[in-house]
Amino acid sequence: MRGIGPHRLAGMAAPMAVWALHFVLVYSLAGLGCEEGWHLRPAAGLSLLKWALLLSTVFALALVGWLGMGAWRSARASAAPADALQRRHRFMARATTILSVLAAIAIVFTATPAAMLPSCT
């Protein structure tokens, strides 16, 4: 098992890191978009600012979903852990799956005000 996966600490923290980056990106885009007038430029029924926020949210949710599915598959692959290392890998994969669900909820909560409230005042 190589790289960053659900059995490593960096892999376990990855879903929450995606949420944190999305949080910073959404609020930075909102400020930048208001300053640059993106909220006044319509594109396909929405403003350019709303599109930027929507696309960043969809990308973050897809990435967290991918991380969560990989962790879920890893947890299911080790059905009957025999030694301490396998038990730790299974635990970390399950924790990564749970953190992925929590990160997805947090991303939706972060994006909801940006989607429902007026872009700029």
Domain count along the chain: 1
Query: What is d(CA 113, CA 109) in angstroms, rounded to the nearest whole number?
Result: 8
Q: pLDDT > 70: what percent of the chain? A: 85
Judge whether 44 lies within some domain. yes
pLDDT in tens, 16-35: 999 999 999 998 888 888 78
Judge whether 2 lies within some domain. no
Q: Is 1's pLDDT higher than 50?
A: no
Judge whether 1 lies within some domain. no
pLDDT in tens, 28-62: 888 888 787 776 677 787 777 888 888 999 999 99
In terms of pLDDT, which residue wins out, 18 or 11?
Answer: 18
pTM confidence score: 0.81
Decide if 41 contacts 120 (C-beta within 8 A).
no
Judge whether 121 lies within some domain. no
